Structure 1
Amino acid sequence: MRPEVEYSPVGEGLGMRDFWLYAWMRRAAVIGARITALGLTLVISVLSRPGTSLFSWHPTLMSFAYCLCLTEGILVLSAEGSPFCCKSRTANVRLHWFCQALVLVAAATGVSFMVACKNLSELSHLVSWHSCLGACTVASTLLQALFGVFMIFSKLLRLSASLQRLKLYHATCGLVVYLLATVTVVLAMFSDWFQASVNRAAWWGLLLAPLFPALVVMNQITNAYLPRKKITS
């Protein structure tokens, strides 16, 4: 007979002192990820000098969408919750929806500025890894938003998939979007424009900056939605 299988929550089996240490380390990581995402967005916006050209709006809006709004939209659902000390799960979910809506609006606007800039300059589209992965990121963002809509209106749409399965699809797609966005941001830092805007030491620091929020977000999603460590008896 196969033994029964249970799923253990993260931190189960730790002593109280170890658990509190884990909790504080996790809280510090979430705060650090938020600060890093905000700082990276501000730095890219300052370097872009929005308003000086059509292109200047592209990095500004895309960093706002994927570095700031997407990060906060995911982290607001963490155990640490909202940075505004809101303990209501419903309020945090609504803030998640708001952040995801901002991602879609800002990303669509940022892409529009990039398309307009290339059309005016008579340059080809989708000729670099950055642009190709960026297009995949935007497409995945739309798919993630679609799963979110299915979750909200699952009863109205009378979908055959269960709510839990839709949550899994939504979370998995969100993880893919965040990883694609992280790689796209990193690739943007290899562009001639970005390398000409910062010195070498600052470039290395900014190159590593997107990786820390990505690790925190990946850890949160996998711990919250993917099967946890199995215990056999």
Structure 2
Amino acid sequence: MPSDVEYSPVGEGLGMSEHWLYVWMRRFSLIAAHVIALGLTSLLSLLSRPGTSLFSWHPVCMSFAYCLCMTEGILLFSAEGTIFCFKSRKGKVRLHWFLQALGLVAAVTGISFMVASKNVSERPHLASWHSLLGMGALAATFLQAVCGVCLLFPKLLRVASPQRLKLYHATCGLLAYLLATVAVVAAMFSNWFQATVRGAAWWAFLLLPFFPALVVMNQITNAYLPRKKITS
């Protein structure tokens, strides 16, 4: 990707970049994404009752990894600002790396608890859509982490095209986040979750993960979407 490619924020080209209603809608969406990320992680952790079994730690670790760490790590770079105090690009990158690394460790730990739980109960592995999507999300997370390491040390690793690698990093990150979101939704169809949450609360849990995913997808695609020059 050429280094001089310009990128356009959402709404630019439609005459919306400075419209007050548009600005406040974006700010509200960002705040709501933060609240849902923290709230969903907390609720899933409480419902799983960590410590009661090996399996109980799986929802805790996975929700912490993807619903919280990855969400906050991406929203750090939102044009509307962030809940964190970092204003410099360097500070945001460092915090992004910390959150992503913490999320990856939590995800691997969560998978380990699930593997151990199924080994004890002698149940088959990768036997559901939830488990397949979860492993896909973990694989994409490793890929974006590798791209991120190369971006962190471009001279040492002799990266030929940092701009193109940034695009790969963002694409793998978005893929990992979307796969994780669908995996979380698929988990809500499991026997464990449906036995724990019923009625209107179940529908609320089912819809909640989609809102942060839309905000994250919107942020990434618009940050890396080339601006099309319109000629009259």
Q: Same fold (TM over 0.5)?
A: yes
Is this contact kept in 1: 2:75–2:216, CA < 8 A? yes
Match of 1:133 in 2: 133
**Alpha-carbon distance, 1:23 to partner:** 2.0
Question: Which structure has the highest helix share of the two?
Answer: 1
Aligned AA (1:221): I
Aligned-residue offset at 1:15: 6.6
Q: 1:6 to 1:93 in 2, by over 3 A?
A: closer
Contact 1:143 1:173 in 2 (8 A): yes
SS in 1 for 2:55: helix
Partner of 2:231: 232
Aligned identity (percent) is 71
Cα distance, 1:17–1:180 mapped onto 2, change above 3 Å:
closer
Shift of 1:7: 6.1
Paired position in structure 2 for 1:208: 207
Q: Secondary structure at the match of 1:232?
A: coil
State the partner residue of 1:53. 53
On the 8 A contact 1:37/1:71 being kept in 2, the answer is yes
Matched, 1:198 2:197: yes
Which segments of structure 1 move beyond 3 Å, counting only runs of 4 or more? 5-13
Match of 1:219 in 2: 218
Number of residue pairs aligned between Structure 1 and Structure 2: 227
Deviation (angstroms), 1:232? 2.6
Cα deviation, residue 8, structure 1: 4.9
Gaps of at least 5 residues in structure 1 are none
2:36 touches 2:212 (CA, 8 Å); kept in 1? Answer: yes
| 1:41 partner letter | T
| Runs of 5+ consecutive residues of structure 2 not aligned to the other structure | none
Deviation at 1:9, TM superposition (A): 4.5
Helix, strand or coil at the partner of 2:176: helix
> Relative to structure 2, which stretch is displaced further, 93-102 or 223-232?
223-232
Instruction: Find the counterpart in structure 1 of residue 25 from structure 2.
Output: 25
Task: Determine the structure 2 residue equivalent to 1:98.
Answer: 98
Distance 2:169 2:32 in 1: 25
Answer yes or no: is the 8 Å Cα contact 1:49–1:56 preserved in 2: yes
TM-score normalised according to structure 1 size: 0.92
